[in-house]
């Protein structure tokens, strides 16, 4: 992700700031609620501890992404591909490395490189049909054009 644009890096940084603030509030709540109490309090503390751990994991993941330390699988980020679906419709997609690079309003025209479609396109060539799994079953699409980044 070393080539991530400034807007993506800023979105990652903002999410990290937000998560750190949420973590701090949660830890403060846990510290204030600790002390003698009933088993319901203990249950809340365990749940709060689990939430803190999940926040810590997400922050670590975002820091890794922001630093550009990700392994890209599938089709290369920056690739643009035009596909024809079984109903005859065509759609142009752009490929990104991570979901955080998907711009608001472009969710329907963006795929991640490691998504089922991104993985299927990794070896796809113009004129070929590729198959990829979806929750509703396998889908086949024809690759009308594929422009990989230079």
Q: Enter the CATH code of domain 79-147.
A: 3.10.50.30
pLDDT of residue 123: 83
pLDDT tens readout for residues 79-93: 999 999 999 999 999
Partner residues linked to 92 by β-bridges: 82
Residue 87 per-residue DSSP state: T
pLDDT, greater one: 54 or 145: 145
Q: Which two tokens stand for residue 80?
A: 């643009």
Tell whether pTM > 0.75.
Answer: no
Judged against a pLDDT cut of 70, whether residue 45 lies above it is answered with: no
pLDDT of residue 35: 59
Partner residues linked to 110 by β-bridges: 94
Contact between 144 and 128 under an 8 Å Cβ cutoff? The reply is no
pLDDT, average across residues 42-54: 73
pLDDT of residue 96: 87
Of 33, 47, 121, the residue nearest 79 (C-alpha): 121
Separation CA 43–CA 60 (nearest Å):
26
């Amino acid at each position: 992700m070393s080539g991530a644009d400034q807007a993506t890096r800023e979105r990652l940084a903002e999410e990290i700031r937000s998560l750190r603030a949420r973590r701090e509030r949660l830890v403060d709540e846990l510290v204030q609620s600790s002390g003698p109490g009933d088993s319901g309090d203990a249950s809340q503390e365990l749940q709060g501890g689990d939430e803190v751990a999940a926040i810590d994991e997400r922050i670590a993941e975002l820091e890794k992404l922001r630093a550009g330390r990700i392994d890209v699988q599938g089709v290369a980020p920056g690739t643009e591909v035009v596909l024809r679906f079984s109903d005859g419709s065509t759609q142009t997609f752009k490929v990104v490395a991570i979901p955080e690079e998907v711009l608001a309003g472009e969710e329907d025209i963006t795929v991640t490189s490691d998504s089922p479609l991104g993985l299927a396109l990794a070896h796809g060539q113009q004129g070929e049909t590729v198959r990829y799994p979806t929750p509703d079953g396998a889908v086949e699409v024809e690759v009308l054009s594929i422009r990989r980044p230079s």
